[in-house]
Structure 1
Amino acid sequence: MRFVRSASSWTTAIETAARLVTPRAILKDPISLVSHEMSQLATNIGSLIGSGHPTLNRIGAYYFESQGKKIRPLLVLLLSRALSEIPLEQRDRLKKIDDLDIPEQPVYPGTKSLSAIFNDPTGPITPLKILHGISPNIMLDPLTKPHESLPEFDHNRGILPKQRRLAEIVEMIHTASLLHDDVIDNSDSRRNRPSGNIAFNNKMSVLAGDFLLGRASVSISRLRNPEVIELTSTSIANLVEGEFMQLKNTILQPDEDLIEDNTKRIPKPTGAVPTEPHEYSVRLPDSNGKIHTITHEQNVDAAFEYYTHKTYLKTASLISKSCRSAAILSGARDNVIENCYQFGRNLGLCFQLVDDILDYTQTSEQLGKPGLADLNLGLATAPILFAWKENPALGELIQRKFKQDGDVETAIMEVHKHDGLGKTKELAVKYRDLALQNLREALPESDSRSALEFLTNAVVTRTK
C-alpha cells in the first residue's frame, strides 16, 4: 500500500488509517471526516452512555462531540483488521473464547457454542427492567443499538463485533479520564472548547466521568471474555494509580505522611487494613528497609523509572491492554498477543514523550489545550529530567514543583541549554522503533499493518 505524505503527516496518517476501518458510505460524508470519526464512533458511544437524565446525557456526550484524534479506538480497529489476516489455523487459541467471536460463527473442534444462551454477543444478560429499575413503555436497550451499516462492513474487513465494541469501550474510558483530569488540573479548555468543568461544573464533570466508567464496565462485562474483562478493567485502575503517582511523587517526596507539596499531614493508618504498596512499584534504593543517601545519578535514574511507570499507567496501559484484548478476541497465539501488547506499550510511551515535547514547543491554540501545562502544574517530565541529569541544581526547582517566581522560565532555559527536547525525541524514536518491530513480528503484511506502521512513524512527527 502506498502512502503520500502531506504537510501534516500525523493528520494524513489518521485519515488514511480511518479509511480502512470506515464504510465508504460514511466516508462520503465530509462532516465525519472533519473529526476523523471511525464509522460514527460517537453515535455508537452515545447509545452506550444514554441515561434517563437529559443533563447527564449532555455532559456525557460533550467531549465526544468535539474534534479529537480518536487514536485509541482507531488502533484497536486497525489492529483487529490486521489480525484477521492471520490464517484461522494459526488462530487456535479459540478454546478460551466462544464461537460468537468469529465471523459467520464457524464451529471449531472443542469450542463450546454459547449461541443458545446469548443471541447477541454484546447484548444484555439481565432483564432490562432490572438493570434500569423501571419498566419502559417500549422495551428497547439503549446500550446495544447497532449501527445498521456496520455488521456487513465489519464482516468483509474481518473486524469482529466484540472488537468494534472494544474500540468504543476504550474511547469511553479515555474520555472519562479526561473529564476527571480536567477537574484535577483546573483546566479551562479541551480540544479548542471550554473543558467540561468550565462548560458545566466540577461536580457534574466528576459524576459524568464516573457514569462513563460505569457504562463502560457494563459493556466490558458483555464481551463475556474473562481475560479481556480483567485486562480492560485493570486499565481503569491503572489510570487512577498513575494519577496518584503524579499527585504524590514518592521519589521526590518520599515522606508517606505528607501530601500537597509536603504541606498537609494525612492520618496515620490504624493497621486494620494493609496499606503497603505491592511489589510492582517504583522505589528509591534502600538498605534494611530505610532510604539511604544516594548519588545524583541514582536519584535521576529512579526519577526516570518513576516517570516511565507513571506514563505507562496513565497513557500506555489503556492502549497496550486494548491491543492485547483485540488479539485475544481474534484467537491469536500467545506470541502474537504478547507482541500486540508490547506494541501498544511502546507506542503509548512514545506518544506521551512526544506530548511532553509539544508542551514546551507548541502554543495553547496549536495544542487545543493549555501550553506549558506540565511545568505550571509542577510536573517533572522527560525534558526537565534530562536537563536535571546534567545540572544537579535543578533538583531544588523540581522538588518545589517550580512554585517560586522565575522557576518555570529557568526550567525552560535549562531544558534548551542541555538539549532536553532532543534527548526526549531520541527516546521517543527508540520506543517507536520497538513498536514497529512488534508489529512486524506479530502480523503478516497487509494494508492494515502498513497503516499501523505509518501511524506509528507519524507519532514522532505530529504537532498536536
Structure 2
Amino acid sequence: MTTSTPLFSPVEADLKLLTDNLKQLVGARHPILYAAAEHLFRVQGKRVRPAIVFLISRTTMPNQEISPKHRRLAEITEMIHTASLVHDDVVDESEIRRGVPTVHNLFTNRVAVLAGDFLFAQSSWYLANLDNLEVVKLLSEVIMDLAEGEIQQGLHKFDTDLSIDAYLEKSYYKTASLIANSSKAAATLSGVS
C-alpha cells in the first residue's frame, strides 16, 4: 500500500513502478535472502522517502521526464531505509512491523542481519553505478549516520536526562539524514546546485 495523501498524487505512477522494480532489484542468489527481501517489499510502507525523491526530481526537471538515475535513486533510498528497519528490528527485538512479523521473527536473527546487509550492499552497488561522486558521498554519509544514530540510541536507552539537543541529533541521524541527503542527491542529479 502506498500512501494516499494528495501530496504524493503527482508521483503515484512513479511509486507503483518503484514497487515493481524493487522486487526485481533484490533478486538474491540465496533463496532464504530472496525470501526475506520478498517479504520486506511485499509488506509495503508509505514510501514517503522515495515519494519525496520523486517530487524533488519532478520539480527540478520541469517539462521533462525524470531520468532513470532519478528512479534508481528513489529505489536506493527505499532499499537503505528498509535495510535500516530490518537491523533496527533485530536490535530492538521487535516482533511486528507494519502489522506483520518482522524478518527476524519470521526467519531468524542471522537471516535478518544478512538480509539487511544484503540490502545495504545492493544499494551501495546501485549507488556506485549512478556514476556521480557527489551523490555517492551524500548517500554514503546516510549509511554512516544511520549507524551513528543507532549507537546513540543504544547508549542512551532509558536515559531520562538526555538533552533535547542530543535527542534531536540522534533523530537526525536515524531519520532526517536519509530524507535530506536523498533530496539533495535528487537535485544534484537534475543539475541543481
Same fold (TM over 0.5): yes
Q: Check whether the contact 2:89–2:95 (CA below 8 A) recurs between aligned residues.
A: yes
AA partner of residue 21 (structure 1): V
Say which of 7, 10, 15 aligns to 1:38.
Answer: 15
Q: Mark the runs of 5 or more structure 2 residues left unpaired by the alignment.
A: none
**Rounded Cα–Cα distance in structure 1 between residues aligned with 2:4 and 2:47:** 14
Q: Deviations over 1:312-360 (max 9, x none)?
A: 0000000000000001111113xxxxxxxxxxxxxxxxxxxxxxxxxxx
Q: CA deviation at 1:185?
A: 0.6
Q: Does the Cα contact within 8 Å between 2:18 and 2:71 map onto a contact in 1?
A: no
Runs of 4+ displaced beyond 2 Å: 16-19
Alpha carbons 2:128, 2:136 under 8 Å: kept: yes
Q: Please say if 1:167 is aligned against 2:27.
A: no
The equivalent of 1:49 in structure 2 is 26
Give the conservation status (yes or no) of the 8 Å contact 1:18–1:38.
no
Shift in CA distance, 62/239, structure 1 to aligned 2, threshold 3 Å: same
Report the CA distance between 1:303 and its aligned residue. Answer: 1.0
Contact 1:242 1:311 in 2 (8 A): yes
Equivalent of 1:70 in 28, 47, 54: 47
SS in 1 for 2:163: helix
Which of 124, 132, 146 is the matching residue for 1:225? Answer: 132
Matches within 5 A, 1:181-200: 181-200=88-107
Does structure 2 retain, via aligned residues, the 8 Å contact 1:17–1:74?
no
Note the 1:253-272 alignment, pairs <5 A.
none
Higher relative contact order, chain-length normalized (CA < 8 Å, sep 6+) = 2
Task: Give the corresponding residue for 1:21.
Answer: 11
* Alpha-carbon displacement from aligned partner over 1:361-417 (angstroms, at most 9, x marks no partner): xxxxxxxxxxxxxxxxxxxxxxxxxxxxxxxxxxxxxxxxxxxxxxxxxxxxxxxxx
Q: Per-residue CA shift, 1:239-266, capped at 9, x if unaligned?
A: 010000000139x59xxxxxxxxxxxxx
In structure 2, the residue matched to 1:410 is none
Q: CA deviation at 1:187?
A: 0.5
SS in 1 for 2:55: helix
Question: Over aligned residues, Cα RMSD in angstroms?
Answer: 2.0
TM-score of the pair, normalised by structure 2: 0.91
Q: CA deviation at 1:157?
A: 5.0
* 1:20 Cα deviation from its structure 2 partner: 1.5
Q: Distance in 2 between matches of 1:314 and 1:163?
A: 23
CA distance 1:216–1:12, shift in 2 (3 Å) = closer
What CA distance in whole angstroms lies between the structure 1 residues aligned with 2:99 and 2:88?
16
Cα offsets for 1:49-90 (capped at 9, x unmatched): 2111121111012121013101000110011101113xxxxx
Task: Quote how far apart the aligned CAs of 1:12 are.
Answer: 4.2
Structure-1 residue corresponding to 2:84 = 177
5+ long unaligned stretches in structure 1:
1-10, 24-36, 86-155, 254-299, 334-464
Question: In structure 1, which of residues 306, 311, 314 is the aligned counterpart of residue 171 of structure 2?
Answer: 311
The TM-score with structure 1 as length reference comes to: 0.39
Equivalences for 1:105-116 in 2 at 5 Å? Answer: none
Taking the aligned partners of 2:16 and 2:109, their CA distance within structure 1 comes to 32
| SS across alignment from 2:15 | coil
Is the 2:135–2:188 contact (alpha carbons within 8 Å) kept by the matching residues of 1? yes
* Helix, strand or coil at the partner of 2:16: coil
Query: Larger Cα Rg: Structure 1 or Structure 2?
Result: 1
Secondary structure class of the residue paired with 1:224: coil
Structure 1 residues 52 and 12, CA, compared in 2 at 3 Å: closer, same or farther? closer
Partner of 1:325: 185
Between structures 1 and 2, the one with greater helix share: 2
Paired residues of 1:180 and 1:206 also in contact (CA < 8 A): yes
Q: CA deviation at 1:218?
A: 0.3
Distance 1:45 1:12, change over 3 A: closer
Q: What percent identity do the matched residue pairs reach?
A: 44
